[in-house]
Structure 1
Amino acid sequence: MSKADYPYPEDEFDAISPDAPTGVHRAPRSAWSRWWPFLVVLLVVPVLAYGAVEYLSRTGDLPQSGGGTSQEQPEVPAEEDATGGEGDGTEAPEGEAEAPVPEATTPAPEPVLTTPVAVLNGARVSGLAGRVADELTAAGFTDVTPDNATTALPAESTVYVASEDLRPTADLVAATTGVPTVEVAPDRADGGIVVLLVTDPDA
């Protein structure tokens, strides 16, 4: 209702003091006054949250995803250097020399079973050379020839070998035939090994 439509005459209550407010409307607020509380929340809350997380992580009370709080794992001491000798019980006592490392030995030469072996019968026992030759063949020798002796006979049955390099092979021949004597004699070994029998080794 406007003042022109007011039907009653003005009285003392209609008089307006110049010092009195003319209405209940407030002055318009600035944009800053409306937004600054939100800006404070946006800035202060993350800072407080970050500080809380840092504090809890340092004190070990930060909750874990599986429940409970994080606890520092006990440190496992690193193993002592094996070469240092501390605490491993392998250090040699002071003043005691370490045991020398044995040098690698050269393996003994193996018998050569393809070496020619002649078995000569000088004992006048029928079939002796053939029987002894069969024993050598059964032992693995591949070139064995039985025959009769035509040269001077030694005092006892002997295995003659052409060189010292064939000694392992001659030793195997002697062990197989039962002849105890082995002699290096190139002139009687015929370039290989000769078993000269003057008695029957099995007799």
Structure 2
Amino acid sequence: MSKADYPYPEDEFDAISPDAPTGVHRAPRSAWSRWWPFVVVLVVVPVLAYGAVAYLSRTGDLPLSGGSSQGQGEEVGPTEDPVVEDGTGEEPGTEGEAPEAEPTTEAPQPVLSTPVAVLNGARVSGLAGRVADELEAAGFTAVSPDNATGTVPAQSTIYIASEDLRPTADLVASTVGVDTIEVSPQQAGAGISLVLVTDPDA
């Protein structure tokens, strides 16, 4: 309805005050009133966040990326039990343990292929041959009987070329019954020499 079509006369309620706003629209707002909330968010919120981070970092409660607080992320290594010495110089747990036995070395064995010369210096016929047969029966494989020449010892003697032939000479001595063994490369030759000045079986 337009003002021209209004059928009633004007009264005091239709009079418009010169100070009253006309129309239903509000006065336009200033630029500051529109932007100050954003300024508050951009300035105040970072300042508060910085203050909170600084406070938490001083107190040590700042959470780390792994979800745990500072001071709790350090790994604690396993602790070893201290070794208690009892003054004996032995480590704990060794009491009652038997000492390890030293490895035993086998005794040298006689070498039956060693050349053995049986020399008859007793002037007993067939003595060297008979003793040589006894050695061959004991397992010796290189026995040669012969007569002794030159100077003979005071008693029946077994001569060896070196000390490593002693186990073999001991077997010769026990087989024929001669106890004297001497190291003499000159008398023994390449192996063992048995000089008989008496008959061992007599």
- Runs of at least 5 residues in structure 2 that lack an aligned partner in the other structure: 1-92
Aligned residue pairs total 110
How much has 1:155 moved relative to structure 2? 1.1
How much has 1:190 moved relative to structure 2? 0.6
CA deviations 1:16-35 (Å, max 9, x no partner) are xxxxxxxxxxxxxxxxxxxx
CA deviations 1:42-96 (Å, max 9, x no partner) are xxxxxxxxxxxxxxxxxxxxxxxxxxxxxxxxxxxxxxxxxxxxxxxxxxxx995
Aligned to 1:183: 182
* Segments of 4+ moved more than 2 angstroms: 94-99
CA deviations 1:166-198 (Å, max 9, x no partner) are 110011011111001111111100110000000
Aligned to 1:106: 105
CA distance in 2, matches of 1:102, 1:163: 32
CA distance in 2, matches of 1:159, 1:95: 52
The TM-score with structure 2 as length reference comes to 0.52
Identity over aligned pairs, percent:
73
CA distance in 2, matches of 1:114, 1:95: 50
How much has 1:105 moved relative to structure 2? 1.2
1:133 is aligned with what amino acid?
A: A
CA distance in 2, matches of 1:124, 1:164: 30
Q: Which has the larger radius of gyration?
A: 2
2:194 is aligned with what amino acid?
A: V
How much has 1:109 moved relative to structure 2? 1.1
CA distance in 2, matches of 1:178, 1:99: 44
CA distance in 1, matches of 2:153, 2:122: 11
CA distance in 2, matches of 1:150, 1:95: 67
The TM-score with structure 1 as length reference comes to 0.52
Structure 2 CA distance for partners of 1:154 and 1:100, relative to 1, 3 Å:
same
1:154 is aligned with what amino acid?
A: P
2:144 is aligned with what amino acid?
A: T
